[in-house]
């Protein structure tokens, strides 16, 4: 049976949000237990080591490196993330079948050949006006709607997906303009746009695990939650197949569309239920390609503009993730939003990825010695469309059930993807600290 000890906090889920929250709370002196249904830590950012490789579940960078939200968690813990210096590494855009060096800053776009001269000037005017906007005024409008209010350059309109893809929505007709504004304003102030932690997710997860254990927190793997226990309108613990974990507070650190598998809908308002049941997520395909020789010297990666593609040349960036003499590159592509994942969809996406690889790095496919293909049913649990933008996501403290909290990328944290997980964990730690 589970330990009869009453915990300060029981957290369901050991992804970035759950682990960060547990580490921060343990650092505050809280008695914390984390319950994870999988055999590995990390959730959608898990990793494992085999034959000298560090295999990650997809690709994981951290926006804005030391100026980013993820880094703030580790600074609070007194154990900063170690980032690889990528400032001299050229990143590329894939647009209209060609690769272009990715421009940085307004002058970079003015000089870049990725756009015709007239479109470059239109882009600069639009970008300057965009940065002057208040994100709060635009959360409920799409990025394309915002653009069309001011401009009508067809060529530039095709390029808008570059900006909306910064929040992992390559379609500007879907992306929340407020979310794009919020991120681009932060990015404009940052020294590095994309941070690569040395060792990838391994460093992130190991540092969080150490912080939890250092604070006498507990992690229980392969132990799925079966129910959130509620008494008299208050969360009092979690039941698993092992027993009950009683706690002063319960934290759901998983995508909220799974919430009603653990707690009755009767506890919540109809509008909350509708929101949770209607959450739209993104999905896609990721392929790790292994080579016995380097096939390119690109370190900065590739981002698709008119194709929802992103590429990371893993071992070019960080030699620790592969054994000597081996080279790994990861190519990923989003599926069409809402698409049913079928074998045909996966096969077509794989063929498209490989076609672009051969187009941009001729001869690379013939040198592949190993492939690792991952169908990712959930990449971002919360697509940043207007109705799922910051003001509309559930607050960290549940309004209906006392002492129940929500964290992770379907909640009201700042940023996009993993940033929401880290941000919501910090907000949770602040809330609990303030209320005691």
Do residue 320 and residue 336 come from a single domain? yes
Tokens 């940023």 sit on residue: 415
Pairing of strands 404-406, 302-304: unpaired
The CB-side HSE value for 401 (13 A sphere, CA atoms) comes to: 26
Whole-number pLDDT of residue 191: 84
3-state secondary structure of 338: coil
Do residue 110 and residue 98 come from a single domain? no
Question: What angle do helix axes 418-435 and 69-77 make, rounded to 10 degrees?
Answer: 40
Domain count, the chain: 3
The helix or strand, by DSSP H or E, that contains position 117, with its residue range, turns out to be helix 117-131
Which residues span the domain enclosing 411?
A: 7-47+200-279+385-435
Do residue 264 and residue 319 come from a single domain? no
Do residue 270 and residue 403 come from a single domain? yes
Q: Say if 263 falls within a structural domain.
A: yes
When pLDDT is averaged across residues 230-252 and rounded to a whole number, the result is: 97
Do residue 313 and residue 341 come from a single domain? yes
Is 1 a residue whose pLDDT tops 70?
no
Q: Say if 226 falls within a structural domain.
A: yes
Whole-number pLDDT of residue 435: 60
Whole-number pLDDT of residue 2: 52
Whole-number pLDDT of residue 142: 98
Q: Say if 260 falls within a structural domain.
A: yes
CA distance readout (Å), 433 to 70, 214, 268: 20, 19, 25
8 Å CB contact between 220 and 34: yes
Q: Say if 78 falls within a structural domain.
A: no
Task: Return the CATH number at 312.
Answer: 3.90.660.20
Do residue 93 and residue 118 come from a single domain? no
Do residue 390 and residue 274 come from a single domain? yes
Q: In whole angstroms, give the CA distance from residue 235 to residue 237.
A: 6
Do residue 165 and residue 227 come from a single domain? no
Task: Return the CATH number at 39.
Answer: 3.50.50.60
Q: Say if 90 falls within a structural domain.
A: yes
Boundary-marking domain end, from 377, 407, 426: 377
Q: Say if 345 falls within a structural domain.
A: yes
Looking at the chain, the whole-number percentage of residues with pLDDT higher than 90 is 93
118-177 pLDDT, tens digit per residue, is 999 999 999 999 999 999 999 999 999 999 999 999 999 999 999 999 999 999 999 999
Under the banding of pLDDT at 50, 70 and 90, the label for residue 288 is very high
Is 4 a residue whose pLDDT tops 90?
no
Q: Say if 426 falls within a structural domain.
A: yes
* CB atoms inside a 10 Å sphere around CB 179: 28
Q: Say if 93 falls within a structural domain.
A: yes
Ranges of beta strands (E only) in 313-390 are: 327-334, 368-376
In residues, how long is the chain? 436
Q: Lowest mean pLDDT: which of 104-113, 261-270, 316-325, 373-382? A: 104-113
Q: In whole angstroms, give the CA distance from residue 87 to residue 213.
A: 34
8 Å CB contact between 36 and 18: yes
Whole-number pLDDT of residue 436: 62
Do residue 238 and residue 292 come from a single domain? no
């Amino acid at each position: 049976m589970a330990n009869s000890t009453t915990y300060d906090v029981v957290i369901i889920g050991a992804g970035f949000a759950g682990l960060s929250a547990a580490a921060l709370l343990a650092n505050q002196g809280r008695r914390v237990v984390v319950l994870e249904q999988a055999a590995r830590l990390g959730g959608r950012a898990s990793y494992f080591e085999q034959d000298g490789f560090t295999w990650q579940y997809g690709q994981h960078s951290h926006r804005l490196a030391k100026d980013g939200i993820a880094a703030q968690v580790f600074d609070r813990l007194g154990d900063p993330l170690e980032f690889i210096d990528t400032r001299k590494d050229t990143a590329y855009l894939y647009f209209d079948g060609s690769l272009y060096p990715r421009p940085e800053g307004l002058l970079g776009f003015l000089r870049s050949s990725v756009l015709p001269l007239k479109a470059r000037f239109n882009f600069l005017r639009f970008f300057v006006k965009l940065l002057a906007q208040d994100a709060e005024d635009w959360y409920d409008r799409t990025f394309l709607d915002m653009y069309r209010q001011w401009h009508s350059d067809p060529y530039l309109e095709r390029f808008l997906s570059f900006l909306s893809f910064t929040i992992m929505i390559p379609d500007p007709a879907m992306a929340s303009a407020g979310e794009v504004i919020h991120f681009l304003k932060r990015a404009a102030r940052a020294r590095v746009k994309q941070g690569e932690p040395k060792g990838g997710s391994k460093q992130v997860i190991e540092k969080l695990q150490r912080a939890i254990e250092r604070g006498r927190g507990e992690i229980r793997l392969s132990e799925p939650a079966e129910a959130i226990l509620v008494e008299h309108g208050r969360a009092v613990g979690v039941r698993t197949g092992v027993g009950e974990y009683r706690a002063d507070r319960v934290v759901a650190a998983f995508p909220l569309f799974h919430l009603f598998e653990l707690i009755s809908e009767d506890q919540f308002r109809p509008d909350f239920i509708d929101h949770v049941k209607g959450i739209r997520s993104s999905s896609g395909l990721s392929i790790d390609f292994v080579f016995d020789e380097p096939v390119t010297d690109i370190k900065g990666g590739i981002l698709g503009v008119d194709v929802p593609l992103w590429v990371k040349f893993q071992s070019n960036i960080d030699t620790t993730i592969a054994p000597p003499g081996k080279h790994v590159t990861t190519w990923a592509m989003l599926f069409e939003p809402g698409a049913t994942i079928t074998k045909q969809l996966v096969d077509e996406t794989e063929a498209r990825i490989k076609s672009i690889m051969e187009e941009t790095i001729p001869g690379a496919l013939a040198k592949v010695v190993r492939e690792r293909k991952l169908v990712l049913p959930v990449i971002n649990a919360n697509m940043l469309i207007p109705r799922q933008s910051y003001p509309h996501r559930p607050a960290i403290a549940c309004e209906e059930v006392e002492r129940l909290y929500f964290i992770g990328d379907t909640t009201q944290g700042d940023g996009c993807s993993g940033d929401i997980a880290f941000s919501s964990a910090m907000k949770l730690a602040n809330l609990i600290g303030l209320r005691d």
